[in-house]
Amino acid sequence: MATNFGFSISKPRVIDVDTNNLKKSNEILAALPELQSCIGCGSCTASCTAGNLTSYNFRKVHTLVRRGEYAGAYEEMNKCMLCGKCRLLCPRGINTRRVVMLIKKCLGDF
């Protein structure tokens, strides 16, 4: 019988690219190769309507998805209201709304 010692072991925070399954990530990048050109400037997150009210960070979520970290990505993307301000600002011209929709479509059952 398990004894409660009053502490638990934290899950490792490391992104392990060897064990992560990059299949979904590759599907998203194949559908929208321009997503790979993100330079992490943060314009999208700075302008984000949802991000000003919640902890939603679009840049971070899609970067994690590209590394194969899918947990919670779908739920996060649901916070997006598709206002499109980020798309107006993106210096790389990435169709950011398409990124939101692609992640929701590919990772909906995750």
Partner 1 sequence: MSKRVVVVGGGISGMQTALSLKSLGFEPLILEQSRQLGGKVADWHLLFPSFTPAEEVTVPLIRAVRQNGILVRLGCKVVSIESRRVILCSGERIDCDAVVLCSGSTLFDATIKEEYGYGIYDNVYTSADIEKMMNNECVATASGAAPERIAILHCVGSRDEKVCQRHCSKVCCITGVKQAIELKKLFPKAEIFNFYMDIRMFGPGYEELYRQAQIDYNIHFVRGRISEASPLMDGRVQIKAEDTLTGRPLRMSVDMLVLMIGMRANDDNAFLSSSSGAELAPNGFFKSRNSFVDNVLSTKDGIFLAGTVSSPKTIGQSLNEATTVAHRVAEYLNYGN
Nearer to partner 1, 3 or 18 (CB): 18
> C-beta of 64: minimal distance to partner 1 in Å?
5
> C-beta of 109: minimal distance to partner 1 in Å?
23
- Contact residues for partner 1 (CB under 8 A)? 13-18, 22, 29, 33-34, 36-37, 39-40, 59-60, 63-64, 66-67, 69, 92
> Rounded to an integer, what distance in angstroms lies between the CA atom of residue 96 and that of residue 85?
9
Burial of 101 (0-12, 13-18, 19+ CB in 10 A): middle
> C-beta of 19: minimal distance to partner 1 in Å?
10
Nearer to partner 1, 60 or 85 (CB): 60
What DSSP letter does each residue of 59-94 carry, written as one string?
Answer: HHHHHHHHTT--TTHHHHHTT-----HHHHH-TT--
